[in-house]
Structure 1
Amino acid sequence: MSTAPAGPTVISLGCRLNLSESESIRALLAEERDVIVVNSCAVTGEAVRQTRQAIRRARRAHPAARLLVTGCAAETEREALAAMPEVDGLVANSRKLDPRAWNAPAAALRPAPVRTRAFIAVQNGCDHACTFCIIPQGRGPGRSQTIDAVCNEVARHLGEGAQEIVLTGVDLTSWGSDLPGRPPLGTLVAALLERYPALPRLRMSSLDGIEIDPLLGEIIAGEPRVMPHLHLSLQHGHDLILKRMKRRHSRADAVELVGRLRDRRPDLAIGADLIAGFPTESAEHHAANLSIVRELGIVHGHVFPYSPRPGTPAARMPQVARDTVRARATELRGAVAEARQSWLATLVGRPLRVLVERDGTGHAENFARVAVPPGQAAGTIATITPSRIEDTLLV
């Protein structure tokens, strides 16, 4: 008896952009049967390992299904993944939303059903050359959706009941750099807010702080429909390591940005991507990483232990011992957890506007996770006053 799934199964790894694209792939293949798609990630060596693990796990669970792989690892690890006996075929990352690549009718590509929020990919690819990153090889050069194209997608999702729109991209703050006139991201955000006055909540995924244009800064600081939640592609807290990463900002730039925005919007919650154990990182450099967590009050932290990616400049630099990398990542996560618990304590007893999910929880405007009392319908925005903290959940 076949254990293949009755319909398409899409396994998504990695970033929010992948999550958005996976929803589109699922909709595109809605009429397919016995198909598994692994939408892979290649941002770190660990991500590639998890991709391989997901492929093997999916094949064990569904030995009769057709198993296809797309995503960044399908570009950067093409030969290795194609050689895996579990894999039936690869779809180029650049063609993953093209119905012809899946032998699907063109009309099949439609917005996936919205639950509570909609992730909209407004930008793809990257034109930068960070020394640790292989993503430009997997995603290609930067490409932007036009304002009209983004607005049309927003309108569809709002029509289906979405209460929150999340703008995503590989390098979101570079949106517009390839469009006529090179409009900055603030132009797109302002257009969405103007065209859709009934849009309840707008959120953005990871932003490169040095690319936040003046208009976008004003919107983040003063527009209540833009959520008070800023996630920065920070990567490190020491200037020398930032330079060796080939980042374009300094520690002082990040501190100035957050301070300036918090002066205008004190409830702004800060998230950040941080890399532990980058090549040549000393104890002093690591201490700067720990201290920037406290200085910026990073309460939504994504900590990545550095792993070398073949073909990147950082892989040729003097490496930090793996056990030291892991220990420093643990310390960084601990610093973020400490900052998060202190922040959550300030939210107890305060009324929060929470977008209700189907699992009995939801996210406040500042992205704190909140338990929702019984009887609240998923997809609605409820005012909830938490009375305590359980682990990292406000209850």
Structure 2
Amino acid sequence: MTAEVISLGCRLNIAESEIIRALVAGESDVVVVNSCAVTTEAVRQTRQAIRRARKARPDARLLVTGCAAEIEREQIVAMPEVDGLVANDRKLDARAWNVPLPSPTRASTAPSAHTRAFVAVQNGCDHACTFCVIPQGRGASRSLTIAQVLREVELHVRQGAAEVVLTGVDVTSWGDDLPGRPRLGALASAIFEAFPELPRLRMSSLDGIEIDEQLFDLFATQTRMMPHLHLSLQHGHDLILKRMKRRHLRHHAVELVQRLRQLRPDLTVGADLIAGFPTETDEHHAANLSVIAELGIVHGHIFPYSPRPGTPAARMPQLGRPLIKQRAAQLRAAAAEQRDQWLQSLVGSTLSVLAEADGTGYSENFARVAVPVGTQRGTILSIIPARLNEGLLS
């Protein structure tokens, strides 16, 4: 059997898992779980994935890396299914996997396994949100240089990727640790200039308060920049945002989206929202619900709050689990309503769709669309959907 890499969690993990998969490709008896620890539920899913992997591959060497392996080290290493851990800051180092050293460019051993190529331009985080343990698992913020990013993008473009997604732990902090402190807009502009043949560039989750003017202009005017803005919003009430130690308030997100939509009406908005943060009242929750409609959030990532040991939020007055689950369900329902209305509005319009391997594809604004049978993965085609069925345009 071939080596297997199981990826959980964020898009950064997906990008890193592709590199790990290439590094261990020659190992036939290895299973790697690239874990997540962003919530208690994520840790539970990591443990579940480890058990499933051991059951499926009882004779394989099972190694765990990622944030759970860093933050929950003692608990993970104590699992009888686990043969070893690889530190999060070493998981892209061939020496950690006892395999031959790759060439200097990381992605050179990692062919694009997806139509969309995820390029990790940044890792770690310098902020201290009161609910978050990721800095413990990822360390301080550090950026690839523009030259390093361009080399990785070039390899993916050569391998046929039609869309590149820039990802990281805190993508909009890219460049803070580089000479001259370049901003993310400069990196995106360099990619567009270097690769005129690249049809699509997409951003992963962004901190709206850190979007620089050059990046704003690209969202507003560059047709190859996908009209899909996913905000690391977290909440819709200012007091909760302050208690989370976020750097933005509600009006910052509202003003940003309004400005962009005036210049690019086809922009769609996604957001991360936390339900049931400590001290959250009915009024706070109502504001969280209302921000979904005010921003027109159609790609909603809803997280029920769960306390993470060692974080300031874990020491705040907690809400009961049933109430948290109820509020999360209400947020999901509100986001689903916005999404259905948006998808229905796309019926009869012409969409540019990038085909995946499963008979569907994604439009520029990240609507999922059925593609004709036999369409080759990576093809971009125009489709006019006639109907909406369970979230799929066809």
Distance 2:374 2:59 in 1: 41
Amino acid at match of 1:349: G
Partner in structure 2 of residue 40 of structure 1: 35
**8 Å CA contact retained: 1:376, 1:382:** no
Shift of 1:243: 0.2
Amino acid at match of 1:385: I
Shift of 1:116: 1.0
Query: Pick from 8, 13, 35: which aligns with 2:3?
Result: 8
Query: Pick from 102, 111, 122: which aligns with 1:107?
Result: 102
Amino acid at match of 1:80: Q
**8 Å CA contact retained: 1:26, 1:112:** no
Partner in structure 1 of residue 72 of structure 2: 77
**8 Å CA contact retained: 1:167, 1:204:** yes
Amino acid at match of 1:102: W
Partner in structure 2 of residue 188 of structure 1: 187
**8 Å CA contact retained: 2:272, 2:301:** yes
Superposed, 1:1-395 pairs within 5 Å as 6-107=1-102, 110-395=109-394
Amino acid at match of 1:221: A
TM-score, normalised by the number of residues in structure 1 = 0.98
**8 Å CA contact retained: 1:114, 1:160:** no
Deviation string 1:269-322 (CA, Å, 9 cap, x unpaired) is 000000000000001100000000000000000000000000000000000110
- Tell me, what secondary structure is at the counterpart of 1:231? strand
**8 Å CA contact retained: 1:114, 1:161:** no
**8 Å CA contact retained: 2:18, 2:113:** no
**8 Å CA contact retained: 1:16, 1:119:** yes
Distance 1:156 1:321 in 2: 49
Deviation string 1:172-203 (CA, Å, 9 cap, x unpaired) is 00000000000110010011111111110000
TM-score, normalised by the number of residues in structure 2 = 0.98
Shift of 1:112: 2.7
Partner in structure 2 of residue 3 of structure 1: none
**8 Å CA contact retained: 1:293, 1:336:** yes
**8 Å CA contact retained: 2:21, 2:110:** no
Deviation string 1:239-264 (CA, Å, 9 cap, x unpaired) is 00000000000000000000000000
Distance 1:64 1:179 in 2: 45
**8 Å CA contact retained: 1:114, 1:157:** no
Shift of 1:72: 0.4
- Tell me, what secondary structure is at the counterpart of 1:353? strand
Distance 2:145 2:278 in 1: 39
Q: Identity rate of aligned residues, in percent?
A: 69
Distance 1:113 1:230 in 2: 24
Deviation string 1:108-156 (CA, Å, 9 cap, x unpaired) is 7612334311100000000000000000000000000000000011111
Which stretch of the first structure deviates more once superposed, 237-246 or 109-118?
109-118
How many residues are paired up? 390
Shift of 1:375: 2.9
Distance 2:233 2:121 in 1: 21
- Tell me, what secondary structure is at the counterpart of 1:203? strand
**8 Å CA contact retained: 1:354, 1:370:** yes
**8 Å CA contact retained: 1:114, 1:162:** no
Gaps of 5+ in 2: none
**8 Å CA contact retained: 1:11, 1:37:** yes
Amino acid at match of 2:259: R
Hey, which bits of structure 1, 4+ residues long, moved more than 4 A? none
Distance 1:83 1:234 in 2: 36
- Tell me, what secondary structure is at the counterpart of 1:107? coil
Amino acid at match of 2:90: R
Deviation string 1:199-233 (CA, Å, 9 cap, x unpaired) is 10000100000000011001111100000000000
